[in-house]
Chain A
């Protein structure tokens, strides 16, 4: 188990490196950068004091340097004007738009993103699991057909639109103001019980909205897996011996069908994070999505890069955890080398 864990961690390192490189390359793809745009603007206004500061920032963050050097400095593998100070050293860089260090700008946003995505995964599981089991054990019943249809509907509705409509109805029917992830007065407050409570009351809409699409796929896979298992000989044998239906289901086929279910977190995470990014824009949640969008538009490169890296990190770590869980469940993976799928 230990060797497997270590091997799995070793794979993560090059993955993250490549992702960081691709991320940075994409962010740098549009011509120009935030500061050079600003310099052009300031020059036309003739504001020399501000111009000097921007020039200083530009030098400090090496935006005049070649691409590879900038990248290496960002990661923290290259000596820049500020010494070795990059992602590896825990320095996320400078947000030019807010004129603050990125870590000060993002503040709670990453934490809230994490909480949101984590809750969505839990929700997806909690909903998909019983429904999937029910659909498999009652194959071709009305319940099965109805739930399958519901799953398809969840799959086919664009998340953002569902969010809009749900927001509207929650507002009209229950009088809930549900934009944002907490009440506005808590935004810049330190964490307190009241703030947590406010987050919890706001969390359910985005969780349901983001959860629906992933749930549908998960139900279908669990149903298919369980159906395969239910037809096997050992189930028939156990039934013939008079084992009670329910404990039979729990004890054998469900365990077997659980494996792909765990492995699915890996597939689920990217889609959940994608979904949360767009739903957050629509519902104006104070998570990473809206700020990422804004940063991408204004070419605020370190801010955008930090968000993209954070989302990628979340995914990679999530996949790592799902692989570990899978290894705990399935000795073939733990003992049989690196093949995870």
Chain B
């Protein structure tokens, strides 16, 4: 195996991994502020992509304007989802909340199917498919752009969790009752986390929509995103980024070796293996918090 070929696989794998991280950070946003694993994040991303397209189609907005408009719309959609679907469940067992997010996922996919149909549409960012040459390596431009967006989102989220609002959200995720007792509005905090996760879904949706087209299959990103979030530790933003890079590289390099042996399709096997092994060996992930037990 030629060194440059391996380097190319690694770099492109890492860039793809950062795109997984871009998606996974939406999961972390909600988990870190309310301890809910949001199974509807994939569907939210898909809705985000349609929102961008519709802003362009209905309002005639150019893409640079349609994206922020869609982000605003998604902010309010996130607030609305929390208000209508999740607030009544506050204090219920986590399994109920999990089922609700699963129900949301199915509902959103069904609704977009009914409204927009199932055919794939282009996002239309207009990034050329011609690869970038770095020495002898070929690098995908859209993946590179997406990776930069991902890092930018990472910086914003890390900064956000240090602000006073961010600290309050982390407090809520630690202990609802204690939060109420010191006057934190738990309901509003959880609503805000859904709104922000919906906004981050727009960022992921533009990049992923450009790569694979806009249709219901965007919601399947959930599987890889969840794997990345679990590997990184569900409540760690840094963990999502590191785990994304790890999974991306494993997938890209690993499948290159395994595919000829098993006749293709080993990417998904690698993802599954990572998820299973993480849960078995390190349930709180690489950077996730442990439940503190003092002796």
Pairing of A with B? no
